[in-house]
Amino acid sequence: MEKVFVYGTLRQGEQYHDLLGDSRLFSLLALAKGTLADTGSGYPVLLETEGTVAGELYEVTAEVLQRLDELEEYYGPGDPRNDYERVVTEVTTDTGVTEAWIYVYRHTHQQYAAIPEGDWKLYRLKANGELLYFAYGSCMDLRRIQLAGREEDFSSVEGCGVAEGFQVAFTLPLADGGRADLVETSGKRKVRCTGSHRSVWLIICMCGKVWRKAYTALLSCRCSLRTGRPMQR
């Protein structure tokens, strides 16, 4: 089995996610080094530059990997026909750092608009206008919201939601007790964070049956992400 980091139309709910078949989801909220850019054609490209890209990490068979190569028009290492190169990179998850394949764009001379926050799904959600915000921890504290003068932002409550596959943890110890964070359930190792936040998208289960896309904020984990390296024969 191979690990593959996906960041665009192969993610859950996107156009080509079905190509992953029954591949095991290793992490829903994974991070890799690079910059995402919007091609304007309904998909992003990843450039090997400084920055952080959000995506999902899967374990795939050789057959699935071949399907992904065909989608990305990858013919082999260094082939001049390649639109993308498939390289090995470090991916950070709530269980630590692991290596995985990633598809990086070859045609760096083309100028595309960078995607803020490096998250294709969050970028598309924000483009739709009105969003659902999944509140947890102190963001459900009405008194805190009132003191901050943000009652209007939290006045329209859609209902109770559940972020399945996650648990609440206090990953940033502080003098007043720390800050709540969401950690993937499979993440049993201790996670240490910088104290800054990053926005992410989630699928929320409401009333036990209705699934809605929403965004929330997680604490940013302290991690060292390195640029990918070419595939070895």
- Shortest CA distance to 17 belongs to which of 30, 26, 7, 3? 7
**Which amino acid is residue 164, in one-letter code?**
E
Q: How far apart are CA 175 and CA 173, in angstroms?
A: 7
Helix (H) or strand (E) holding 204: strand 193-206
Angle at 172 between CA 171 and CA 178, to 5 degrees: 105
Assess contact for 23 and 64: CB atoms under 8 A.
yes
Q: In angstroms, how far apart are the furthest CA atoms of the chain?
A: 60
Is 152 annotated in the active site? Answer: no
Q: How far apart are CA 30 and CA 104, in angstroms?
A: 16
Catalytic residue among 72, 85, 90, 184: 72
What letter does residue 3 receive in the DSSP assignment?
E
- List 212's β-bridge partners, or say none: 204
Q: How far apart are CA 57 and CA 221, in angstroms?
A: 17
- Estimate the share of the chain in helix, then strand, then coil, as percent rounded to the nearest 5: 15, 45, 40
Tell me which residues are annotated as active site. 72
